Structure 1
Amino acid sequence: MKTIELATGMTAAYREAGEGEPIILLHGYCGSGEYWNGVIGPISAYGRVIAPDFRGHGGSSAGEGTYGMEMLADDVAALMDALKLERAHLFGHSLGGYVALAFAERHPERLLSFSLVHSTAYPDADAAKANRLKAAETIAAEGVRPFVEGLVPKLFAPGHRDSRSAQLLEAIEIGYGTSAEGAIGCALGMRERPDRVLTLAETQVPVLLLAGELDEVIPAERRFPAAGDRISAVTLAGVGHMGMKEAPERFSEEIVAFLERVRGTASV
C-alpha cells in the first residue's frame, strides 16, 4: 500500500499494479481498496490498476462532517492529479458507483469510461434515508465494529454467507479499518445524493452496469436505470452485492470484456 498527499487536504492510501491506461477501482461503504484484491491481478493485465481507500476508510485520513459524493469525487480527481493521470476508467462498487456518477457529472473530460458495480443512479428512497440516519446514530453510539459485523453478511448472497465464509470474514476485517468519522460521513453523504439517472443516460463515454442476480441491497428495478448504445448491462448469476469476492473469476472476465470492447480489441 502507498500513500500520497492530495490537494484536497487528505492523505490517500492506494494500491496499484500493472501498466498502461489507468483503471481506478472505487470500493464500497465500510470497505477499502482491499475489496479488489482477488481481481486486481487479472484486470492489471489490461492497464495500470489503482485501488484507493476513500477518506475515512482503510489507510486514508479522516475528518468530521458529511462526506458528500461530490467531495469524494473531487478526492479521486485530486488523486489523479497527484499521480499525473489525465483520464481513467472508473469502476465504482456500491458507494464507489455513487462517487463515479458524481465524477462523471463534475469531471466528464477525465473519463475514458465508467462502471456502476452493484450500484445505482437513483437516490435513496425515504426508508433508505431513515436507515442512513439510524446507521450514523448506531455508529456514534456503539462504534464501527458491531455495525460492520451486522452490515457485511447482508452484502453476500444468502447461499454465500456460509459457503463463502472466508471471504465474508475478510470483508468484515476490512470493514474494521473504517473510522467512525468515515462511516458516519459517508452514511450522511449517501443519504443526500441526488438522482443522477440523467447523468448516466447522457454520458458520452462507455458505461458498464454490472449487477448481482441475488443482490439484496440493490433491487432488480434499480439496477439498470438507463439504456443506450454506450451502456452495457450485465447480471452475474448467483451473486449478491459482492461480486468481486463471491465470483472473482467471472467478475474479472466481465470487467476485462468491457475494457476490450471499449478499446475495440475484441468483439465480445
Structure 2
Amino acid sequence: MSTPVPGPAGRWAIAHDGTRIGFDVVGDGEPLLLLAGQANSRSWWGPVRPDLAGFRTIAVDHAGTGAGDDVVDGEWSTRRFARDAVAVLDALGVGRAHLYGTSMGGRVAQWIAADHPGRVGALVLGCTSAGGAGTVPADRGVLRTLAGPPGPARCELVRLMVGPGWEGPLPVLGDDTMSTRARAGHRRASARHDAWDALPGVTAPVLVLHGDADEYTPVANGRLLAARIPAAQLVVLPGARHAYFLEQRERASAEVHRFLTEHPLAVC
C-alpha cells in the first residue's frame, strides 16, 4: 500500500506508472469518492460538497488536471482513470467506499464497480453514459459548435451546463491549467469509453441521476444505463441540463444523501 504524499492544496497518490494523482479529503463518516467530468479537476465538486456532510468526501483530480501529472505511460482511458482512483483509496487505506461520478466521472465509476466490486459500497452515476451500444450521442450541431472556435464553444458549453439566468459559481467548464496533451487524452478517453458489456455484472446498489433537458449527454443515456444495471434506480430531474447537480442542487443532493444512507457500508 502506498502512502499519500503532500501535494498542492491536498495530497498525491501514486498510480501504477508513477503518475501523481491529486486528491483531498473533507469531513467525517463513511468514505465517498467523488469523480468529476472530462477535463475538470476536483474543483467541479466545490458547490456541492457541503451538501454531503456526514460523509468523508474524497475528491480526485483525474490525471492531467489539478495537482496531478499528465499520465506517464501514455494511456488515457476511463479504465485507467478508474485504476488511478483505486490508487487513491489504497493510499488512504480505504478498503471500500461509496462512489459518486458525474459525466466522464460516471464512466470512470462504472469501471471501478465492474473491475473492483469489493471496493464499492453504493454507486451514484450522474449525467453519464455506458458507451458502446449504450450511447445516444449529442446532436451533431452541438458537437460542431463545441469543436469550433473557443469563444462560441465556451458559450455553448455554458448553455449545455445550466439554463439562462444562472448566477451561481460554475466550476464545470474545464481546468485551464491542463496541457494540450492532457485535453486530447481526456477527449479520447471519454469518447472511447465502452462498459456496456460489463454493466450487467455490477453488484453494487446503483442510483442513476439525469436531467431531462441535458443536450450534452441526452437523458436516453441515463435510461439505458439504469436498464442495463441490475436493480438500478433512476431519477430524472425535469428541466435540468448537464450540470443538474448545480441547477437542481437541493433535490439532487437530497437524492444522493437518501440513497447512500439507505445503503450503508457496514451492516450490523
Give the TM-score of the pair, scaled to structure 1: 0.82
Taking the TM superposition and a 5 Å limit, the aligned residue runs for 1:1-268 are 1-8=9-16, 9-45=18-54, 47-63=55-71, 65-123=74-132, 149=154, 152-157=157-162, 160=163, 162-168=164-170, 170-172=171-173, 175-194=175-194, 196-225=195-224, 226-227=226-227, 230-263=231-264
Shift of 1:191: 2.4
CA contact (8 A) 2:23 2:88 kept: no
What secondary structure, in the 3-state scheme, does the structure 1 residue paired with 2:263 have? helix
Distance of 1:151 and 1:76 partners within structure 2: 30
Higher helix fraction: Structure 1 or Structure 2?
1
What secondary structure, in the 3-state scheme, does the structure 2 residue paired with 1:239 have? coil
Distance 1:165 1:152, change over 3 A: farther
Shift of 1:205: 1.2
What secondary structure, in the 3-state scheme, does the structure 1 residue paired with 2:169 have? helix
Distance of 1:127 and 1:120 partners within structure 2: 9
What secondary structure, in the 3-state scheme, does the structure 1 residue paired with 2:198 have? helix
Shift of 1:256: 0.1
CA contact (8 A) 2:136 2:218 kept: no
Greater shift, 223-232 or 107-116, is seen at 223-232
Structure 2: runs of 5+ lacking an equivalent: 1-8
In structure 1, what residue type is equivalent to 2:208? L
- Which residue of structure 1 lines up, in the alignment, with residue 5 of structure 2? none
What secondary structure, in the 3-state scheme, does the structure 2 residue paired with 1:177 have? coil
In structure 2, what residue type is equivalent to 1:115? V
What secondary structure, in the 3-state scheme, does the structure 1 residue paired with 2:154 have? helix
Structure 1: runs of 5+ lacking an equivalent: none
CA contact (8 A) 1:66 1:188 kept: no
What secondary structure, in the 3-state scheme, does the structure 2 residue paired with 1:34 have? helix
- The percentage of aligned residue pairs carrying the same residue is 27
Shift of 1:102: 1.4
Shift of 1:198: 4.1
Shift of 1:63: 3.3
Shift of 1:257: 0.8
What secondary structure, in the 3-state scheme, does the structure 2 residue paired with 1:58 have? coil
Greater shift, 59-68 or 34-43, is seen at 59-68
CA contact (8 A) 1:104 1:199 kept: no
Shift of 1:51: 0.8
Shift of 1:155: 3.1
Distance of 1:184 and 1:264 partners within structure 2: 37
In structure 2, what residue type is equivalent to 1:183? R
CA contact (8 A) 2:209 2:234 kept: yes
Q: Give the CA RMSD over aligned residues.
A: 3.1
Greater shift, 215-224 or 204-213, is seen at 215-224
In structure 2, what residue type is equivalent to 1:112? G
Shift of 1:149: 2.2
Shift of 1:39: 1.6
Greater shift, 76-85 or 237-246, is seen at 237-246
Q: How many residues align?
A: 251
